Structure 1
Amino acid sequence: MINKKKTGLCLALAATLIASSALCGCQQSDSSTSAKFNSDVKDASKYTADENAQVYKTLDFSDEQEKEFAKKGFITAPDKLEIKTENGTVAWSQSAYDFIRNSSTPDSANPSLWRNTELNSLYGLFEVVDGVYQVRGYDVANVTFVKSDNGWIVFDCTTSSETAKAALELLESKFGKAHIAAVVVSHAHIDHYGGIGGLIDEKDVADSSLPLDEQIKSGKTLI
C-alpha cells in the first residue's frame, strides 16, 4: 500500500528543489548581480582602510626590536635569490617579495602582517649562537645547522631538494665542505623533510638496524 503521507512529503520536497534550482539558475544568469573577480589592483574600501588604521593605535610601530632580532647574527646572502629545478622551473624566489621592500604599508593591508612579511623576507645565513646557524628565507621553513665534533647536525630541511641544496651551499660558502653527521626532522610536514635529498645521498645514510654506536662509527649520516 502506498503511504500517502510519505508520498506527499516527497512531492513537496521535489517541488522545493525544483524551485531552488530555478532560482539559482536565474541568479547565475543575471550578470548584473553576479560578482566580478579580476587581478586589477584596487584601492582599499573605507571600511578596510579604517580597520587597518586602528592597528596603529593598538601597537607601537616605533618599536623596532623585532627587526633588530631578525637581522641579528647576519653573515652572508646573495644579492638576489632565485632557486630553480633541473628543468628550469622556479622552486623558490625572493623576488616575489620585492613588492614589500622599501615600500610603505598600503591601506589595504594590515600593518602588523605587512611588517611580519617584511621580516620574513630577510634571507641568508645567520648565526643564532656560537656553533648554531640558520639559513632563512630559502623556503617556507628555515634550515638549522649545528656544528659538532663529528660534523654538522641539520634540523629540518625545507620543502624541496633544490632549496635544501642551495641552503647547504650557502653554509659551505662560509665554512667549507660540510660533512652532515645527522639530520633531525622536527615533525612530518613536508616543508621540514621534503628537501632531505638535497643534503644527503641515500647511500650515505647509516644502517638504522645497527646499534647507535656502530652507526656513529660508520661515519654515515644518522636520521
Structure 2
Amino acid sequence: MTAELEELRDLITHARVVLWDFDGPICRLFAGHTADGVARGLVEWLESRGLHGLVTEDERESLDPHVVLRAVDGRHPGSDLVAELEERLTQEELRAASSAMPTAYADPLIRTWTAIGSRLAIATNNSPRVVRRYLSSRGLISCFTPHIYGRTEDLHRLKPDPHCLNRALNAMGAAPSAALMIGDTPSDYEAAQSAGVPFLGYARNERKEKLLRDAGAAVVVNSLAVVRAVVLDQA
C-alpha cells in the first residue's frame, strides 16, 4: 500500500463531516456552456456600458468569471453594478446546470457517505441556487440539505477566503479537525488551510494535479472511485 493511500485512509477515517466544492468534484458545471465564454460575456456587458476600464488585461484574459466578478467588486464594493453583474453570472450558471457533466463516481460516493452516517455540505464560489438545481436534478439534494454554502453578496469572501467553509462548520457544529474538504483548485486548498480543515484534492487531469500539488496539497486523487472504495472498506 502506498504512503498516499495510507494518508487517504487516514483522512477518511477522521472525517465526520465532508465539505465538497461543487464545480469540479461533483460536476463539470461548464462542460457544455464554457466558463471562458461566460467570462467574455461579462466583460462585453461591462464594455457595452462604457466600463471597459474596470477590468485589467490580466483579469480579462483569465477567462474566469469569478475573477471578473471579484475585480469589479474590488473597485465598486456593494454597488448596484456588482449586484447586477453577479445576477448575470448566476443566470449563466443556471443555464450551464442543465448541461453539466457529473463527475465520475461522485453520485455513488455521495450516497455511500450519506448512507454510513457522514454529514455532507457544499462550500463553493458558485451560486447556491445553481447547486440546488443541479443536486435536485440528480436526486442528491437530500444528502446536503440544508448545508449548501455558496456565493453571497460579500464577494470579497469567495474562496480562497475560508468564509463558506467556516459557515458550514459552524452550522454543523463540527470541529475543523473532524472535517474533510474535497476540492480541485489551489483556492480550495488555501481555504481549507485557513479554516484548519484537512484537504483531499481531486484532479481530472495532469494540469490540475500539478496546480494542486504545487499549492501544497499532499493527497490528490484522479478518480473518486478510489475514495469510494476506501469509504466502503471502512463502513
Q: TM-score range by the shorter chain?
A: under 0.3
> TM-score with structure 2 length normalisation?
0.25
* Greater relative CO, 1 or 2 (CA 8 Å, sep 6+): 2
Structure with bigger gyration radius: 1
Q: Which has the higher strand share?
A: 1
